[in-house]
Chains A and B, each alone.
Chain A
Amino acid sequence: MRRVITLYRSSVGKKVAMAVSGLILFGFVVGHMLGNLKAFESHDGVGPHPLDAYAEFLREVGYPLIPEYGLLWGFRIVLLAAVGIHIVAAVQLWRQSRSARGKGYRKETSQVFSYASRTMRWGGVIVAAFVVYHLLHFTTGHAHPEFEYGNVYDNLVIGFQNPLVAGFYLVAVGALCLHLYHGLWSIFSTLGVQNPRVDRIRRPLAAVLSIGLFVGYAVVPLAVLAGILT
C-alpha cells in the first residue's frame, strides 16, 4: 500500500490512477453500449422486451449464489469508485497544472496534437453532468415523464421521443467519445506502453474505438426519432 501511495504522490501516479480508472470506465462504456443494442432485437409483442429481459438478467445474475442485485451493486460500487478516483485525480492534476502555468500568454496559439486533448477537462465535466442526468432519467426515473420501473424499453423509447432529450444525449455521447479518443490514446502513454509497433497504431486505434462507440450509442435515439423503435 505504501508503494501505491508513493506512486500516487507523484504526478505520474495520479495519471496512472486516471488511466486505470479510465480503463475501467471505458470497459463499462463498451458493455453498456453493447447492452443498449438489445433495443434492436426483434420482439414479437408477447412477454417482456429483450432489453427488459437483459436488464432483469443484470439484476439477477448469479442468484441464488449471490443475492439479487448483488453483482449489479458490486459493479456499481467499482464504477463509483472509478468515477471518484477519476474525478479526484483530475481535480488534483488540474490544480497542479493551473498553478504551474503562472501568468498566461497574451497571444496563444495552440500547438497540441488534437482538439480532444484540449477539451478533456470541460468534456469531462459535461460527461459527468450527463451521467447524473442519465441516472435520474433512466435509472431512478426522477427526470423521466412516464417512468415505469422495469420497463426499460418503453422508458427508452418514450424518453428519446423528445427531440431535446435525444439531442442532449447525442451531444453528451459525442463529448464522451471525444474524451475517450484522447483518453484511450493517453492511457497507453501513461501506463508506459511504448514500443514502435504499438506507437504507430495507438492513434488510429483510439479513433476507431471512439467512433465505433459513438455510432453504437447514437443509433438508439436516432432510431427512436426515426420511428424505427416504437
Chain B
Amino acid sequence: MELDAKIPSGPIEKKWEKHQFDMKLVNPANKRKYKVIMVGTGLAGGSAAATMGELGYDVHCFTFHDSPRRAHSIAAQGGINAAKNYQGDGDSIYRLFYDTVKGGDFRSREANVYRLAELSLNIIDQAVAQGVPFAREYGGLLANRSFGGAQVSRTFYARGQTGQQLLLGCYQALERQVAEGTVTMYNRHEMLDVIVIDGRARGIVTRHLVTGKIEAHMADAVILGTGGYSNVFFLSTNAKGCNVTATWRATKRGAGFANPCFTQIHPTCIPQSGEYQSKLTLMSESLRNDGRIWVPKKAGDDRPPHQIPDSERDYYLERLYPAFGNLTPRDIASRRAKEMVDAGHGVGPRKNGVYLDFRDAIERMGKDAVSERYGNLFQMYAKITGEDPYEVPMRIYPAPHYTMGGLWVDYNLMTTVPGLFAIGEANFSDHGANRLGASALMQGLADGYFVIPLTIGNYLADGPQGGVDGNHPAARDAVREVTEMQERLLAVNGNRSVDSFHMELGRLMWNHCGMSRNEADLKEALEKIPELRQRYWREVRVPGSGADLNQSLEKAGRVADFLEFAEMMCWDALTRDESCGAHYREEHTTEEGEARRDDENFAHGAVWEFRGAGEEPVRHREELTFEYVPLSQRSYK
C-alpha cells in the first residue's frame, strides 16, 4: 500500500492556492459526460453533491434515509468554527490552524488543517447566502461564542441546532440541483460494496431498502461521505443508523483505514438510565461555557445536590485546570469525569454521572439569559430525565460521539484506491487524535463545498473512464457477493437478535477499547471479538426476507461489519503504544495523569490494510512532520 499524501510544495499558506492552479481542469462542456457517485447526504455529501451538480457533473447521490435531510449531521448542536475574527479578539486563519493541530495532539496533517482553516471563512459566507439563520446580535451582525477549549470566540451557531440549519442549507442546495436535473437522488438505497475495476473505483452496489433490489451503479468516480463509526460501541450519541459499512466495505476492497482507534468521547451526555436504553443523548458542549462541573467530595455521598454545601463539592476541572476550568478539551474533560465516577464520586440513581450546575450562572445572568442561550437544551434534558435543570443540576457523563479515524486520504481526499474519495467524518484527515468542538461541521462543509468539487476534476481530467456497465464481471461479482452475504445472514436462523449481539460488542469495546485502554484489555478484546463474530454467524436470527423493507436485515449487515472492523480498531489501539489525544493508553501517562505522546515513535498516521476477516491487518505509516506548529506537550493547566 503506497501512501503518498501529495502535499503541494511551498509555504503552507500558499499550498492550496498553488494546488488549485496546478490541478487539471475539465472543460465545462464535457463535465456532463462525467458521472460521479456520491454516497451520503450529510454536510459533506450533501454539499459536495450540490456543488458538483452546479459545476455540471452528472451526479448520482445515494442515501439510506428516506430523505437527504435526515443525515446525522443534523444533530450537531453547538456550532461551526470559522476564523472570521468578527469579534476582533485576535483570531486568524493561522490561529485556527494552530489550535486544530495542537488540539489534535499532533497527529494530523498540517497542510490539510491549514486548508481547512482557510476555507472556514468561505463556509460561513456560503451558509449565510443560502439563508442559514445563524444567531445574530441586535445590530444585525453575526454572533459568536467561544467553544470547547478555544480562547477566541470563533464559533457561529444557530441556537442549539447549528447542524440542522447547515444541513438544511446543503439539502436545499441539493434539492435545487435535483430540480435542475444535475443530481439524481437515490433515497432509501444503502451502499453495500465498492466496485473496483483495473485498480480504480468504478461503481457501487446498493440495496434498495424498500424493494430489496440489489444492483450495481457505475461511474467515473465514487465519493464516500458516510460518516463515522461510533456505533461500534452500540451506545453512542450517533443516530441509530450510523454505521461503518460503507467505509469498511471500501477497506475490504483495498482502501487503507487510518487511525481507527481515534474515537472521541464527548464529555456532556446524559448518563445511561437503564439497560434497555438504545442510545445516549448528547448535550451541547456549549453548556460548559456557563455550567460548572462538580462531584461531591465524599465518595458515595447520597444527599441531593442542593444539600451539599460548596465546601463539600469538588469542582474538579476548575481545581485541576485553573486556566481553562470547565472548558478543557473534550478528551481531558471526559477522562476526569470517568475517574471521578470510577472513584465512587458518581451522582444520580446509577451513580454514573457528574453534575453540570447552572446555579451560579442563573444567579449571575438571570434565568432568562440562561434560557435564551440554552433553553432548548434544558428542555431536551427535562424531557429525557424528567428533571428540571433550572432547579436541579444536570447530570452528565461522557459518551462515544465522533471518530477521528477513517479512510486514509491524500491531500485531494482520495483514498488508496484511485477514484475512491472520502469526505467528512468518513475520512481521517484533519482532526488528528482529537477533534476540537465545532470543527466537525467545518470539516464536512470544507470538504464538500470547496475541496472535493475541485480535486475530483483533477482526477477526472485524465479522461472519462467510460466503457463499463453493470454487466462487467467485477460488477456482477460484487452484486453476487452482496447477495450471498445477505442470504447467509437470513439463513442462520439462530436464537438471538441482531441488537443483542450489537449490544454485546458495544459493551466489549467500551470496556476494552473505550475511554482508556491498556495492552491486556486490548489483547483480550482481540481474542473475544473473533469469538463473538463466530457466534454471531451461528446464532443470529434475522427475520423476514430480503425482498422488502427489512430493518433487521439492514442492521444485521451493519453489525456483521462492526464485528470485523472492531478488530482492526483494537489492533490500532494496541500497536499505538503511546497516549495521544483521545487515545489514552494507561501505560503512557504523565505524573499528572495526562496523556503522554511518543513523538519519536508515533508521529505518524497508522494506515491499516485489510487482509481478510480474522487475519491481522497490515499496518502502514504516513509520517507526519510539523514545520509550523512545533511539537509540544499539550497543557491546559
| Direct chain A–B contact by Cβ atoms under 8 Å | no
Chain A residues with CB under 8 Å of chain B are none
B residues with a Cβ closer than 8 A to A are none
